[in-house]
Homo-oligomer: A and B are copies of this chain.
Amino acid sequence: MDNKQFVKEIADINENFAQWYTDVVIKTGLVDYGPVKGTMVIRPYGYAIWENIQKDMDRRFKETGAKNAYFPLLIPMSYFTKEAEHVEGFAPEIAVVTHAGGEKLEEPLAIRPTSETIIGTMYSKWIHSYRDLPVIMNQWCNVMRWEKTTRPFLRTSEFLWQEGHTVHASEEEAMEETMKMLEVYRSFAEETLAIPVFTGRKTEKEKFAGAVATFGMEAMMLDGKSLQAGTSHYLGQNFSKAFDIKYLDKDSALKYGYTTSWGTSTRMIGAVIMAHGDQRGLVLPPKIAPIQVIIIPVAAHKGGVLEKAKELEDELLKLGVRAETDTRDMSPGWKFNEWEMKGVPVRIEIGPRDIENNQAVIMRRDTLVKDTVSLDNFGKTIFELLPVIQKEMLEKSRKLRDARVVEAKSLDEILKGVEGKNFVKAGWCGCRECEDKVKEIASATARVMCDEEGVPDKCAICGKEAKHKVIFARAY
């Protein structure tokens, strides 16, 4: 199979981005469709990315004092009705267990769409005194939300995520936690996924069902659309009152706690694909790439080539680099295509002539630039190259994004902006009608507010006084 044929298997990234995405996730073996509508199977190559994401993020959580725990999958349906907004938001998406052990259940049980209700119930049992606060727990688990339209990683009925749930003695502390975790997400997205994000408060319309305020991070995909990659919610006393999370304060008064929750999911893998990919397929940032360096022996049947390849692999493995040698009985060209499609950050080619010249051929997946690298200090050279790639991928993404953020002073300008595949910043009066109008006319939504940049005088939609500056975009 020649190069062109291989590349052609993936739909044109400019002409049909949606099909390009589907081709990439399926053909690189990241994911497959499960038998039940809307479910996905995360295959080893995709799951290895998730493991790298988990490891990195988990460390960041623990550094803030969070401890992991595990709460039950099944939640009595009645729990959802305790917080009015929450049930309204989630009830339509719940999968319900009605029978178990061969019998009809007395009360139907929900498969968790999110765990505020069951964790709140347990917290109410565990928290008694101000000495018990703050409580900062996280869980890595599966959740289920029955969605009509689904796409692997982006929107599936079951997905994997982490959900943090905290309780604090005061509004200030809870708000501080909310913002701290938003910052953990932001720095993770930039440092580990090499994706620059806009963070900010969500509008009332876009906030989490039951929250006082939701803060989100939004990443620009290559098609100019926004992907919400993580949210941090300040829940005030909404859930502590609904679930009776009370503590005896120093002044002997019984008080309700202030709670937060925050989550990110396997959706982030979708963000990585759509923020960095190209016509050849995936482009993975080194920090999350299952294989960071692929070594391809050229003329592998010749004496010494395979041995040298393995030697280089060992040199890299010793430095903690995730390296692999592709010894399969296929042509080098076929392998080049395969590993390019799979987004491996660095490709090393080593053949008899390279060995003679004490060098190897190196190709960076992000720039597609080919070069030679000396075999002296080979391991160290590659080891030091990976963070450079990581950094440059972020810079490239940032430039690409920054060139596509425009300001708008009218609904028409908003429409033109999003049609031109941009994020559009505009003044907004704060009313739901104007927000709905942007949705109706421009198929765009308010992603986050960025008032700190300075609120424009007028609402771009109705012309009345603006109260916020908003980033509008089409979104996943």
| Interface, chain A (partner B; CB < 8 A) | 32, 34-36, 39-44, 47-48, 50-51, 67-76, 79, 91-102, 108-109, 111, 118, 121-122, 125-126, 137, 141-142, 144, 146-148, 157-158, 160
Q: In the complex this chain forms, how many copies of it are found?
A: 2
Quick one: given A41-B71, A98-B98, are A35 and B121 in contact (CB under 8 Å)?
yes
Bound state CA distance, A94 and B99, in angstroms? 8
> Which residues of the partner chain B approach A91 to less than 8 Å between Cβ atoms?
102
Bound state CA distance, A101 and B121, in angstroms? 24
Report yes or no: B70 in contact with A122, Cβ–Cβ below 8 A.
Answer: no
A101 → chain B closest CB, angstroms = 3
Report yes or no: A68 in contact with B48, Cβ–Cβ below 8 A.
Answer: yes
Leading 8 A-B pairs by shortest Cβ distance: A101-B146, A44-B67, A95-B100, A34-B72, A39-B72, A42-B70, A96-B99, A100-B146
A42 → chain B closest CB, angstroms = 4
Bound state CA distance, A137 and B29, in angstroms? 14
A58 → chain B closest CB, angstroms = 9
Report yes or no: A70 in contact with B41, Cβ–Cβ below 8 A.
Answer: yes
Report yes or no: A100 in contact with B96, Cβ–Cβ below 8 A.
Answer: yes
Quick one: given A34-B72, A42-B69, are A92 and B101 in contact (CB under 8 Å)?
yes
- 15 sample A-B contacts, Cβ–Cβ < 8 Å, listed by A number: A32-B122, A32-B125, A32-B126, A39-B73, A42-B69, A48-B67, A73-B142, A73-B144, A74-B157, A74-B158, A92-B101, A95-B97, A111-B111, A141-B142, A142-B142
Report yes or no: A41 in contact with B122, Cβ–Cβ below 8 A.
Answer: yes
Q: Which residue of B lies closest to A137 (CB)?
A: B44
> Which residues of the partner chain B approach A70 to less than 8 Å between Cβ atoms?
41-42, 47, 50, 160
> Which residues of the partner chain B approach A121 to less than 8 Å between Cβ atoms?
35
Report yes or no: B76 in contact with A109, Cβ–Cβ below 8 A.
Answer: no
Bound state CA distance, A48 and B62, in angstroms? 12
A2 → chain B closest CB, angstroms = 21
Report yes or no: A97 in contact with B97, Cβ–Cβ below 8 A.
Answer: yes
Bound state CA distance, A51 and B74, in angstroms? 22
Report yes or no: B68 in contact with A118, Cβ–Cβ below 8 A.
Answer: no
